[in-house]
Amino acid sequence: MNWRLAVVLSCGLLVGTAGCQASTAGSDSLEEPAAKPRIVATTSLIGDALSRVASDRIELRVLLPPGADPHSFQSSPQDAAAVAKAQLVFINGFGLEEGLLETVASIAGSVPLVSISEGIEPRVLEVGEGEHGDAGAADPHVWLDPTNVMVWIENARAALTSLDPGGADYYGANAAAYQAELEGLDAWIRSEVERIPPANRELVTDHDNLGYFAARYRFTVVGAVIPAYSTLARPSAQEIAELERAIARYEVPALFVGVAVNPVLSAQIAQDLGVDLVPLYTDSLSIPGGPAATYLQMMQYTVRAIVEALTIR
């Protein structure tokens, strides 16, 4: 399969196939194992995808800890050191890591930055939507449609294989197995959503992050507390008033807020209108052992929460 790495801010370099060669200390010495490819992922979601493709064949460092907001996260000196030593750095793309990407790119130098979302057609904020300079901006929250994560998995497989050709069969088998699980997840979500009457499939969120989910599973996004793709934007009093009117007009019973987002403003609106404030895992996984420690668990948790909130009105 012909495939070109998506290299962002890295002078157009392609990943080479050098490195990871076994070495010997002498003619009668045992062959030493090849060093594992050093890989960095910006978010826990990307890290989870890479783990499903590569398992323990790579040395993986994830920059954002569970629960961190990818829009506002700032890197640490330890993160910088990991990026500088990496052979590949995987980013989400579409401007998600806005507080991190410029720093990572400058540290990485000649290390390729691979956009794992390469090939996904982004949603674009139309002119006239929102008032935060986002018109024409791409929506980075692609993972909330599992079919987009299928694209992630293929991109991860291809990039890792290019770096480590000896692992081609291993990466390919893992990717194929996980693709089947993602297809099952998509079917399960469709089945769960069918429990919600079509007239009740209306979403209000803390920021505009459920667009891909809504498009895939036929929801309407009534509005967002922050009418922008980034949590760094700040809504005006007029925008909040318009949102409150929309919630009342559509009789929306719940306001969904991501656990990685400051909930204060959303909580105040929910209290003022007498609607439920429902936490979702949307932009980050939970800690290991938590309710959303993997992508599959995150989507199951989020879908169950949405269905429970909207089924009875």
Q: Mean pLDDT across the stretch 300-306?
A: 97
Note whether residue 302 is domain-resident. yes
> 270 near 277, Cβ under 8 Å?
yes
Is residue 87 domain-shared with residue 122, that is, in the same domain?
yes
Between 237 and 154, the more confident residue is 154
- Do 179 and 247 fall into the same domain? no
Which of 136, 151, 185 is a domain's end point?
185
What are the angstrom distances between the C-alpha of 308 and each of 7, 184, 253, 273, 278? 41, 21, 11, 19, 10
The reply to whether 62 and 121 lie within a common domain is yes
Rounded distance, CA 300 to CA 189, Å? 8
**What is the domain-level CATH number for residue 249?**
3.40.50.1980
Three-state SS string over 123-161 comes to CECCCCCCCCCCCCCECCCHHHCHHHHHHHHHHHHHHHH
Selected residue with higher pLDDT from 30 and 63: 63
Alpha-carbon span 61 to 44, nearest angstrom: 10
- Residues 181, 201 share a domain: no
Looking at the domain assignment, is residue 267 inside a domain? Answer: yes
The answer to whether position 8 is within a domain reads no
Whether 139 and 54 share a structural domain: yes
- Predicted confidence at residue 229, as pLDDT, reads 66
104 and 210 share one domain: no
258, 209 Cβ separation under 8 angstroms? yes
The answer to whether residues 144 and 233 belong to one domain is: no
How far is residue 143's CA from residue 49's CA, in Å, rounded to a whole number? 10
Whether residue 149 sits in one domain with residue 46: yes
**Residue range of the domain that includes 241:** 196-311
| Tens of pLDDT, residues 215-256 | 999 999 998 887 766 655 677 888 888 889 989 998 999 999
Confidence of residue 303 (pLDDT cuts 50, 70, 90): very high
Residue 25 lies in a domain: no
pLDDT bin (cut points 50, 70, 90) of residue 15 is: very low
The pLDDT tens digits of the residues spanning 98-136 come to 777 777 777 777 788 899 999 999 998 664 444 444 556
Vertex 253, ends 251 and 255: CA angle to 5°?
115
Using the 3D structure, point to which of 185, 206, 221 is the last residue of a domain: 185
Domain co-membership, 181 together with 48:
yes
Final residue in a domain of this structure, among 125, 152, 185: 185
Residues 131 and 244 reside in one and the same domain? no
**Residue 5 pLDDT more than 60?**
no
Q: Do 148 and 220 belong to one domain?
A: no
Closest to 167 in 3D by CA, of 5, 50, 48: 50
